[in-house]
Amino acid sequence: MPQITVDYSAPLQDAFDRRAFALALHDRVVDIAAARIEACKTQFRRTDDTTVGADTDGHAVVHVTLGLLAGRTEETKARLTEATLELLRQYVKPAGDLALHASAEVRDLDASYRKFES
């Protein structure tokens, strides 16, 4: 915990400093949600097909899902979501007239969540 997944549109491949974003986000998760830095894990998933509304061109999407163990207040989750969006503004710089649609959400991990490290 936390489990962080970032889905992003293929046209952002060279416009998204993913490593810097993840490292900065991990710091925010520690500060805001009292997580341990060594527990922060982020995976990036590039999506090749994106459609926004009736348009298939000129748009890119980034969506961040943060899964945390239950117990954080709604205020903490909202602060973390806002911090995530601010980091996306810093680390995603689409070229040309590409419209960026960025979103984030914080979810409680299900009570069945388990992990192991080896």
Angstrom CA distances, 103 to 7, 81, 116, stand at 10, 8, 30
The answer as to whether 74 is a domain residue is yes
Tell me how far apart the alpha carbons of residues 71 and 66 are, in angstroms, rounded to a whole number. Answer: 14
The answer as to whether 116 is a domain residue is no
The answer as to whether 41 is a domain residue is yes
- Does residue 34 carry a pLDDT above 70? yes
- Does residue 66 carry a pLDDT above 80? yes
Inter-residue contact 98 to 57 (CB < 8 Å): no
Mean pLDDT of 106-117: 92
The answer as to whether 115 is a domain residue is no
Q: Which residue range(s) make up the domain with 75?
A: 3-108
- pTM of the shown model: 0.94
CATH number for the domain harbouring residue 45: 3.30.429.10
How many domains in the chain?
1
pLDDT digits (tens, 9 = 90+) for 76-100: 999 999 999 999 999 999 888 899 9
pLDDT of res. 56:
67
Q: CB 43: neighbour CB atoms within 10 A?
A: 10
First to last CA, the chain: 16
Instruction: Determine whether 9 is exposed, middle or buried from the number of CB atoms within 10 Å of its CB (0-12, 13-18, 19+).
Output: buried
- Does residue 38 carry a pLDDT above 80? yes
- Does residue 73 carry a pLDDT above 70? yes
The answer as to whether 113 is a domain residue is no
Mean pLDDT of 63-78: 97
Mean pLDDT of 102-110: 97
Residue 9 half-sphere exposure, CB side, CA atoms within 13 Å? 23
The answer as to whether 117 is a domain residue is no
The answer as to whether 114 is a domain residue is no
- Does residue 36 carry a pLDDT above 80? yes
The answer as to whether 95 is a domain residue is yes
Residue that wins the pLDDT comparison between 62 and 51: 62
Inter-residue contact 89 to 50 (CB < 8 Å): no
